[in-house]
Amino acid sequence: MPAAALLGLALAACGGEENTGGSQSEGSATANWAGEDLSFENTRCRAIPGGEQWTITASSDQNSIQVRYWVDNDGSYDTSNASVTLELLGENWRVLERYSAQQLVLDTSTESRASGEVELTPNHNPGVGDIQYPDGNTLRFDMAC
């Protein structure tokens, strides 16, 4: 599926209901990339092994967003050095385009919610297809578990 088709998705939010793929969503997510709404089937929050970082991931068979931020010694969440990665996917979860940003300040009310408006730049990893936005673009998102 061409990257342009991936961007023409309807805005959706997961509310913990069973989807047709049979997996259980634990939260909800909305996002807008380059003026187009993205949809998600699953939203998950989890600690990254080692316990120093927390991640929220929203995904579907067409795209995924992952937000990572740090857990402070007192148990609070430090979003002053967060990272965000957006992947636009093709058949068999093949990454067609990948965009990311590091060292961001995000709005996080609790460990299980992150939102923001960030400028993402292309991430040219091996195997990633043609980049539609070589100068990057704006991602607006709100994710919660």
How far, in Å, CA of 134 to CA of 145, rounded?
Answer: 32
> What is the residue-wise DSSP string for 78-131?
EEEEEEEEEEEE-GGG-EEEEEEEEEE--B-SSTTEEEEEEEEEE---TT----
Comparison of pLDDT for 1 and 88, the residue scoring more: 88
Instruction: Flag whether 6 is in a domain.
Output: no
Domain count, the chain: 1
Please name the residue that has the structure tokens 């990572």. Answer: 68
Q: Does residue 26 lie within any of the structural domains?
A: no
Structural domain including 118 reads 42-144
pTM, full prediction? 0.75
Residues 5-64 have pLDDT tens digits of 222 222 222 233 333 333 344 789 999 999 999 999 999 988 887 767 889 999 999 999
pLDDT at residue number 70: 83
* Segment 61-119, tens digit of pLDDT: 999 999 998 877 777 777 778 899 999 998 888 888 999 998 888 776 677 888 889 99
DSSP 11: P
Residue 24 counted as domain residue: no
The pLDDT value recorded for residue 40 is 93
Asked if the model's pLDDT at residue 2 lies above 60, the reply is: no
Cα 141 to Cα 38: distance, rounded to the nearest angstrom:
9
2 lies in some domain? no
Taking the alpha carbons of 15, 80, 110, 45 in that order, is the dihedral positive or negative? Answer: positive
